[in-house]
């Protein structure tokens, strides 16, 4: 009887030790993964798009005499792309959306597949470096009278995409903004930085 009790106690102690070792190893693995994640986050590249200004050109505010709709407005956003991270970024491209919408309509970021995408920039942005002058342009057709009267606004969203030192594709948070539009006599309007309102998500 004493031998059977001793065997049961030994079995119980062995099972307890196995469970404790299992949980210790699991917690160690979780802590190692978290330490790796923190280490990678400290050395990653972090890019963002900072708007410097915008140009809105409407070459002609007179109605077309053709039945075929033609693009009648060109919107170009200029910005800089700083890398605030501790490592370089390569294969930098931009996903963006520029639309004119009635003021009553809410601007929504479209699905990524339907955004405009630039070709990757050829050079690498070093840690703490930047792309000084990046331009994103869209030519499209819209109701110019609604823009001129203020019933519509020009909205934009920009996402920066790059490859980091861990060979992972990374995207920035979107930067959203609105561009006011008032036409000159010749239909051309220059809009500068103080006039462009941006916000980050």
Determine if the pTM surpasses 0.75: no
98 and 127 both lie in a single domain:
yes
Number of domains present in the structure of the chain: 2
Residue-range definition of the domain harbouring residue 106 = 45-200
| Farthest CA pair distance, the chain | 107
174/157 Cα distance (integer angstroms): 6
Answer whether residue 25 shows pLDDT above 60: yes
* Average pLDDT score over the chain: 80
Q: What is the CA radius of gyration of the chain?
A: 28
DSSP 70: -
5 and 89 both lie in a single domain:
no
Q: Token pair of 138, please?
A: 């869209």
Answer whether residue 62 shows pLDDT above 80: no
């Amino acid at each position: 009887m004493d031998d059977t009790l001793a065997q049961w106690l030994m079995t119980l102690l062995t099972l307890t030790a196995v469970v404790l070792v299992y949980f210790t190893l699991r917690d160690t693995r979780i802590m190692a993964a978290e330490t790796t994640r923190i280490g990678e986050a400290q050395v990653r590249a972090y890019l963002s798009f900072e708007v410097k200004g915008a140009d809105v050109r409407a070459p002609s505010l007179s109605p077309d005499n053709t039945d075929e709709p033609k693009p009648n407005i060109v919107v170009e956003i200029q910005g800089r792309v700083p890398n605030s991270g501790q490592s370089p970024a390569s294969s930098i491209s931009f996903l963006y959306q520029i639309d004119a919408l009635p003021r009553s309509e809410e601007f929504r970021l479209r699905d990524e597949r339907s955004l405009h995408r630039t070709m990757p920039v050829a050079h690498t942005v070093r840690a703490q470096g930047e792309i000084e002058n990046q331009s994103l342009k869209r030519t499209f057709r819209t109701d110019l009278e609604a823009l001129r009267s203020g019933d519509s606004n020009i909205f934009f969203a920009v996402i920066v995409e790059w490859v980091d030192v861990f060979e992972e594709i990374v995207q920035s948070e979107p930067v959203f903004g609105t561009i006011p539009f008032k036409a000159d006599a010749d239909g051309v309007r220059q809009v500068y930085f103080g006039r462009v309102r941006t916000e980050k998500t």
